[in-house]
Structure formats: C-alpha cells, structure tokens
Chain A
C-alpha cells in the first residue's frame, strides 16, 4: 500500500505545483534582469532543461531522479533538498522522540490513575485538566512558557538548539526542555483520556474477575492483567497521534526557533520555495505511512489476539 500511495500523492503534488506561478527558469533569472533576456533565449534555456516537454515527461524525469535519491534543489540558494532535510532531520527527530516519550509515560500513568480512581474528585479534576490540555493552542502555551521560564525566571533559554561552540548532547538539554514539554502537552492529554477509557474497559472484563477470584494482589491485577490489555488501543492511538505530533512540531519549532524540518517547511512556504515545500510534504507523508506500518507491527507484538487472527 505504501509505494502506490506515495506514487499517486507525488503525482498529485507535482500536478499542484504546475499551478504555481513561474517555473525553474523564471526563478533562476533575477527579476531585474528578466526584461533583458530575449524570449528566444528563454525558450532555449527551457529546452535545454527539458521544461518544454509535456507534463508527464517532466514528472517521469523527476520521479526517476527522486528514486535515485536526487530530490532536486531548493529555489533559495540552490542547495540540494536531500542535504537540507538530512541537515534538519536530527533536530526534529530529537524533539518528537522527547515529546513522544514524555506524553506516553505521563499519559498512560495519569490515565490509569484516573481509571483506578474512577468517579472521584481526582478523576474529574484530571478530566477537566485533560480537556484544557487539548484546548489551549500549543503555540500560545509555548509563548506563556517562554515568558515565564525564559524571560521572567531565566531558568531556560528562549529558543534555539545549540549555543555556538557547544555541541555535545548535554549542552542542549536545557534547550529541549521547554519545546518538548509544550509539544507533549496536547498528546499527553489525548493519551490520558484514551488510556483511561481503555483501562476502564479492560477492568470490566471477565479475566479481571478471574484474577481477583484467584486472590491475586490488587496491584498485580491492575498492572499485569489490566494494563497490558488496556495498552493495545493506546499504542494504536499513539500511532494515530503522529500526525498531530508532526503537525504540532511545525508550529512549536517555529515558536522556539528550533532548527528542524518543520521550521524549514514554514520558511519554504513563506519564501514560496515550491520544490522544497513539495519534497518536505512528501517526506511527511512517507513518515506517516511508515508510522502506520510500525503501529500494525507493534499491535501484533503486544496483542496476541491480533497475531493469532492473522494466521
């Protein structure tokens, strides 16, 4: 499913780019010189670049290059797109992984806690806090966090990833704290709500009653029996949250000046750097499809019912 989907989407996106103003040649020649270049000469350049061929031909040429790892060049500066993305990717992965880790741990813990204390004041309190978490715009939360912890208290840096001259992993630990916490807020709330209902569901099953009738201690019932079954839908949810994570990181990277792919994407959209916009969008689709594949594998690994059903 992955390859045909990517092909179709790349075709559509390439088609979309046809409707954007200008082509490679009009971007190559500075506007102040454009009037001095004769129409025939422009035509010659277009022909030498293969731009006057039909749309299908050009798509095919682009595709055969892309398959070999040549994704073209950005309009601004003419740097190879693969280079830009590879340069920016570690920062994004670092931030996303941190947020994923934080939100999974806190979300599952709070959700389970909420489910075990079902109907109490603590439970409804957590529910309202969770609602707040998905309602506050992430960038607004980020702004408040910057104001509070960076500008007023001065505990953490305002943004950026590395101070010049420092490059070890430890040196940018303070820089990642704020963006990772802010980014994980919305996801934590989502995971919490989901793991709560999933845990409640699991606790009502027959095997929990069996475990209890065997006289197992309550913590063993809850964590070894209930939690494991409750975990499966949560893993699926975390997979489905990846788009939110990728989407959220676009804005959060911009707020915290985090030099990741998301911030680059926004720069590209602002600068109308169409090839770069297109390639980053395609990479994100690839990442999403890959993520859903991984979720399928993980679910089968955790849940024996899925594994057996497949056979």
Chain B
C-alpha cells in the first residue's frame, strides 16, 4: 500500500521520539509556527527594518526633514541625498524616515485603538445580550453602512483636518468590524461549559468576559488588527495624497507622495515619489504577510 505523506511524517516523529530528541517544545507554539512560515518571517523582518529605521531616524540621517535649502532644489539621488531633494531642497530620504513615524503611528495606533474600542464593547454586548447588544449592533450597522473612505472624508469635512482628528476618524470608521468579530466569537464562546462553571461560582460578568473568555477569542482579533493596520496605512497615504489627510506641514508617506499629482514631477522627478511609494507598498506587504502567518498559526487545524 502506498504510504501517504502523513504516514511518513508520523514515522519521523516516532523516530525522533524513540531517539529521545523530541523533548518538550520550548516557547509559544503559535509563535514557533509563525516563525516557521517563511513569508511571515520575511514580513517580520521587513516590518522591523522599516519600523526601526523610522524610530531611529535622527541617527540614520543628518538632514532635517523640514529644512528648506534653496541651493539644493530638485537634485537627483546622490551620496549626499540618497533619495534626492524636493522642490524646496528638502532631503527626501529624511522625509521618508520621519514620515514613517507619523504614518506608522496613524496606521498602527488607529488599528490598536479601534480594536480596543471594538473588542471592549463587542465582548460585553456579545456576552450580555439583550437590549445593550441590540443597541450596539444597530450603531455599528450605521457606521458600516458607509463605504469606508466616504465616511472618513465626510467626517474630515465636518471636523476638519488634523493629525488627532484623523486618528479619531479612523477609529470611528474601523471599530465596527472589530466589534462584529469579537461579538461573534463571544456568542459562540459564552455557551461553553467553563463559562457556565464560572457563572455558577458567582464570578462577575466583567471578569468572565475580559479575563476568561477574551483570551480564547484573541487569535482572530490579532489577525484583524494586522489587516486593519494595513488598511489604515493605505487610507492615510491615499487621503494625504489627495491633500485631505494629515496637514501638509507634517511629513507623512502620503504627504510626500502628494507632489506626484503634478504630471511634470511624475515624469521628470521620479525620486520624489517612487521610493516612498515602494516603502509604503513594502510596509503594507510585510504587515499582510504577518497577518497571513498569524492566521495560519492561530488555526489549530494546521499542524506546525
């Protein structure tokens, strides 16, 4: 009889066990699975490089991202200016590094905040049910009835442009999905026996919710945080590109790309927009790789 790959795998594990090499697996199982996934590993490395480069921007470049130097206008890339200079002689490399700080802050910060809001409300209303649940569900439906960018632009036009406003707007537009997700997990988990046991012991609702059930729902939530981060980074870039996101005085990845709306810049000064576009794409790609790896490693049906 032909032996399947599972048979071979089983044999290999048994051999290892007999020779005493298997040992107790060290470290977190999900983390180990994540690190064994080549794409996720590439993602983690890329993510760390871009993140660290942004955080340690002052050590990586001597140029001030906002300093205007009229003697160095529109220079193409050189040893002095790695990504060249823009129309007012500002160093593009420095702007990309410092811009990364704001862009990543907006993307990651908004994603974590909307997760916090969504999960906090979603867990409670999913566990409690009743009228609280219905009210929260209806509110989230209202927010989710808008196409995301339309809602964001509508709110931008109502409250005006600023960095803080943008984060708040992103959280408003993003919490609904997190709410739905954690609520749905809660609805299935609250019927589990250990929850009933806790309830019969008289453990308080909040404690059951956040201390005992939430950790079991964390896997899909983490995956969603990464996907939302990717989405918000793209949204910030898009909005700032249009001049409607972060105010232009603050360098962000989207604001640097803003100049490419001019066809002359697009055609003649590729260094002003191509590298930063590539950095955004790579960063979002790395976040997506991590998210995909997390999805696989949080899935218990996949061995690792």
Identify the A interface with B (CB < 8 A). Answer: 5, 8-9, 12-13, 16-17, 19-20, 128, 131-132, 134-140, 143-144, 146-147, 151, 158, 242-244, 246-248, 250-251, 254-255, 265-266, 268-270, 272, 274, 277-278, 280-281, 284-285, 288-289
Contact = CB atoms under 8 A, between A and B. Distances in A.
B200 to A, nearest CB: 36
B142 A9 contact: yes
A250 B263 contact: no
B273 interface: yes
B149 interface: yes
A277 B154 contact: yes
A251 B158 contact: no
Among B142, B157, B280, the most chain A Cβ lie within 10 Å of the Cβ of B157
A140 B151 contact: no
Contacts of B288: 131, 134-135
B242 interface: yes
A62 B156 CA distance: 23
A269 B146 contact: no
Contacts of B156: 269
B281 A274 contact: no
Interface in B136-153: 141-142, 145-151, 153
A247 B157 contact: no
Contacts of B141: 5
Given A5-B142, A277-B157, A137 B266 contact: no
Given A5-B141, A140-B257, A250-B153, A158 B263 contact: yes
B273 A143 contact: yes
Nearest to A255: B261
B279 to A, nearest CB: 10
A19 B158 contact: yes
Contacts of A13: 154
Interface in B219-270: 230, 234, 237-238, 241-244, 257, 260-261, 263, 266-267, 270
Given A137-B238, A254-B242, 18 more contacts: A131-B292, A134-B230, A135-B281, A135-B284, A137-B237, A137-B281, A139-B237, A143-B260, A144-B277, A243-B146, A246-B150, A247-B147, A250-B153, A251-B238, A269-B153, A281-B146, A285-B150, A289-B145
Nearest to B237: A137
A285 B147 CA distance: 7
B245 to A, nearest CB: 11
17 contacts: A5-B141, A9-B142, A16-B158, A128-B39, A136-B277, A136-B284, A140-B257, A147-B266, A151-B263, A151-B266, A158-B263, A244-B147, A246-B147, A247-B150, A268-B157, A269-B154, A284-B150
B289 interface: yes
Contacts of A280: 150
A270 B242 CA distance: 9
A8 B159 CA distance: 20
Nearest to A8: B142
A140 B280 contact: yes
Contacts of B187: none
Nearest to A251: B238
B275 to A, nearest CB: 11
Given A132-B285, A147-B266, A269-B244, A243 B230 contact: no
Contacts of A278: 154
Q: How large is the interface on B (under 10, 10 to 19, 20 to 34, 35 or more residues)?
A: 35 or more
7 interchain residue pairs of minimum CB distance: A247-B149, A135-B285, A243-B147, A140-B277, A135-B284, A246-B147, A136-B281
Contact of A250 (B39, B146, B149, B234): B149
Contact of A132 (B148, B150, B281): B281
A232 B300 CA distance: 26
Interface string B272-304: 011001001110110011001000000000000
A265 B87 CA distance: 29
A135 B282 CA distance: 8
A243 B148 contact: yes
Contacts of A151: 263, 266-267
A266 B153 contact: yes
Given A132-B281, A146-B266, A5 B145 contact: yes
Given A135-B230, A143-B260, A270-B244, A281 B281 contact: no
Contact of A272 (B157, B243, B281, B292): B157
Contacts of B145: 5, 9, 285, 288-289
Contacts of B285: 131-132, 135
B150 A251 contact: no
Contacts of B274: 144
A64 B73 CA distance: 57
A5 B142 CA distance: 7
B31 to A, nearest CB: 21
A270 to B, nearest CB: 7
A274 B244 CA distance: 15
Contacts of A277: 153-154, 157
Given A131-B289, A131-B292, A269-B156, A139 B147 contact: no
Nearest to A146: B266
B217 to A, nearest CB: 22
